[in-house]
Amino acid sequence: MNSSNTPSSPEKVDFKAIQQLMASAMTSVDQEILQQLNSDVVLINQIGFHIVNSGGKRLRPMLVALSASALGYKEAQHTTLAAVIEFIHTATLLHDDVVDESDMRRGDDTANAIWGNAASVLVGDFLYSRAFEMMVGVNNMRVMDILSHTTNAIAEGEVLQLLNINNPDTSEAQYLEVIRRKTAKLFEAATQLGAILANENKKTEDALATYGLHLGNAFQIMDDMLDYMAEAEELGKNLGDDLAEGKPTLPLIHAMSHGSPEQANFIKETIKAGNRDAYPEILNIIKATGSLEYTAEFAKKEALLAIDSLSIIPDSEYKDAMQKLALFSIQRSY
């Protein structure tokens, strides 16, 4: 890593300081989101407002504005595209919670727990279609190309993850392919869009896309790790949800390959059954096999790759914020 262009201190990143830097841009994004959510179908408004206003970090839309600002973009189209990114993300959350049968997200009841599965799926479909209406309005074929391929990749990632559910033979490579499509691809699109808006050359555009991809990987790997080490109240969901859903995430995959035959078999049977009651014993195995440390180191490498990719762009407070976001992705506890 280029030490002259990256934060050298391991100090805790102040995420609120990054939010403050982008406060004006994100206020505009929030206004666009609220305006575009408006529908004469009351239930769409209710569910849309519920999930959009449920306390998320708005990280993905912020990345559109941050990357554009880091490249000197001064116009306003990033506001629309940031809202598009948030709508795509929100639609995936609505669908995810139905597939996973989740009842808590960000510390609140999920939309499907309140209004039911059918309403959640259909409002998710509305958000996807509204996002495509908005991106058409930008009138940029490169934008359309990236976002259409991104949405398709996310759907593929969801199906791949479904195939891995209750499958203890899922490999590390298969797990990484799921998170690349399901999570990292939208981060990649967000930062790449900033470069496109700024009319940057392909080398810079690729560098910004690379940043988003590795940031998304780091973020999701830490998300999966937090299911085995965070406090439920801070995390905003029930601990052991991944285990109960039979998801073979990186801590489990590593523990199976580094534990004793008995330990590996116990994890396999737990994944097959989706047994939340086994959480305490699974946690002991994960700790004993060094799987949390392995997962944390994997996420750290992804974060550092993200930071390295920014060496091509000039120093600024926005670049600094992007570097710090990569560090925040692996420091966070929620």
Which helix (H) or strand (E) is 84 found in, with range? Answer: helix 77-100
Residue 217 tokens, joined: 């990987």
Report the alpha-carbon distance of residue 312 to residue 128 in Å, rounded.
33
Question: Residue 277's pLDDT is what?
Answer: 93
Closest CA to 186 of 309, 299, 71, 59: 59
Among 123, 135, 35, smallest CA distance to 82 is for 135
State residue 232's pLDDT score: 47
Predicted local confidence at residue 230, as pLDDT: 57
Looking at residue 184, the DSSP 8-state letter turns out to be I
In the chain, which ranges are E strands?
Answer: 104-105, 108-109
111 contacts 51 by C-beta, under 8 angstroms: yes
**pLDDT at res. 334:** 73
Query: 97-128: per-residue pLDDT in tens?
Result: 777 677 666 567 777 777 778 888 888 899 99
Rounded to whole angstroms, the Cα distance separating 93 from 239 reads: 18
Strand partners, 104: 109
pLDDT computed for residue 8 by the predictor:
43
Residue range 15-331 forms a domain whose CATH class is mainly alpha
Task: Identify whether the C-beta of residue 144 lies closer than 8 Å to the C-beta of residue 75.
Answer: no
Assigned token pair, 152: 């398709």
State the distance between the two ends of the chain, measured CA to CA, in whole angstroms.
26
Q: Looking at residue 55, what is its pLDDT?
A: 65
Instruction: Phi first, then psi: give them for residue 104, nearest 5 degrees.
Output: -145, 135
Ranges in the chain, pLDDT < 50: 1-9, 232-233
The SS3 of residue 73 is: coil
SS3 108: strand
pLDDT of 246: 94
Residue 204: phi and psi, rounded to 5, are -70, -40
Provide Rg for the chain, Cα atoms: 20
pLDDT attached to residue 324: 97
**Beta bridge partners of residue 84, listed in sequence order:** none
